[in-house]
Structure 1
Amino acid sequence: MPNLSLQIRQANVTDLAALQDIGRQTFVETYADGNTLENMVKYLEEGFSEEKLNAELQNDNSLFYFAEKYGQMLGYLKVNFAEAQSEILDPASLEIERIYVLQEYQGKQVGFSLYQQALAIAIERKSPYIWLGVWEKNPHAMRFYRKQGFVEFGEHIFQLGDDEQRDVLMRLDILSTNE
């Protein structure tokens, strides 16, 4: 059953500070236990810098969405198209780069609602498939995506500070949905 008080809205450059805050918080909640403090600090400084986020928010091939409830930020989504994708597997595909939800709201349909937003965008754009990378040490996320129908098709390296980490690449074919 949908959560009627949950709102999904597109973010823009005026949301930079809010995006920076929730991005850092959700990244720490998700990855701090499996990584060194030094690598986390380095990634948080670089990956969520004002300059980087501002450029991403202004990129026509990237979109951000916030999940909010009664004005409180619960999570966010980032999708990429064409050359904005972290790897260009197919310029017509859609990459879900991030679906991050505050720990206290995980399992409460927030991530699923953000995923539904990504799926709707892919269908509207007539993307043949959606793809993403999931850290191999994040079984919760892998289970979530498998439940949605995603299958593993490869891997890539995600650089976190000085640590090369393996991401499992997963995809969901949606071409039949678009026809």
Structure 2
Amino acid sequence: MSLQIRRATLADAEALSAIAIATYTETWGDSYPPQELDVFLHEHYGLAPQREELCDPRSAIWLLLDGEQVVGYLAAGANTLPHAEARDGDIELKRLYILAAHHNRGHGARLMDAFIAWLDQPHRRTLWVGVWEENLAAQRFYARYGCEKAGEYDFIVGSTHDREHILRRR
């Protein structure tokens, strides 16, 4: 069975929270002290923040489904990245995560294509993405969609400050 993509609704808040926590932990869990990671995950990816995001009319989230099981997602919304040229109406790709068991099968590109189609209707909007400075694979992936480095900022999880590149597609 091929994996399906669909837009998330408020009814998906619990599944979205679960996949957000699972994929972040799988990807970055060993990068932070466990207690600090738990606080971060609850504050950013718990049920309440996911419901809030799903209710925000400026947000859009796509789920990658293996049958009924969510195995990845892409979340976008109003830009919050700190850049002097950011404007109201700009969109930030907040998160694009897929469980490792489903990597390297083109699903990230499929999610990104669905997002770009939404982003550019009815007109092309500026896209912002924050990417860890050492995540070269992600930087190459976003470059394929026209994103270029426009700045840097610190992404903070507890006492850890990770240097992030701010990418922009005009």
TM-score, normalization by structure 1: 0.85
Partner of residue 80, structure 2: 86
CA apart distance, 1:141: 1.4
1:13, 1:128 → 2: CA distance? 25
Match of 1:169 among 147, 159, 166: 166
Mapped partners of 2:154, 2:162: distance in 1 = 5
Q: Secondary structure at the match of 1:124?
A: coil
> What's the counterpart of residue 44 of structure 1?
41
Single out whichever of 100-109 and 85-94 deviates more from structure 2. Answer: 85-94
Q: CA RMSD in A?
A: 1.8
Q: 4+ residue runs of structure 1 moved beyond 6 angstroms?
A: none
C-alpha distance 11-128 of structure 1, shift in aligned 2 (>3 A) = closer
The count of aligned residue pairs is 167
Tell me the distance in 2 between the aligned counterparts of 1:118 and 1:93. Answer: 14
Give the Cα separation in 1 of the matches to 2:162 and 2:149. 17
Say whether the 8 Å CA contact 1:76–1:99 is kept in structure 2. Answer: yes
- SS at the partner of 2:123? coil
* Worse overlay, 141-150 or 106-115: 141-150
Equivalent pair of 2:81/2:130 in contact (CA under 8 Å): no
Residue 30 of structure 1: which of 27, 30, 33 is its match? 27
Matches of 1:38 and 1:121 in 2, distance apart?
37
* Structure 1 stretch displaced more, 121-130 or 7-16: 121-130
Greater CA drift, 47-56 or 22-31: 47-56
* Unaligned runs of at least 5 residues, structure 1: 174-179
Percent identity between matched residues is 28
Name the counterpart of 2:94: 97
Using structure 2 for the length normalisation, give the TM-score.
0.89
Of 149, 159, 162, the match for 2:146: 149
2:7 matched residue in structure 1: 10
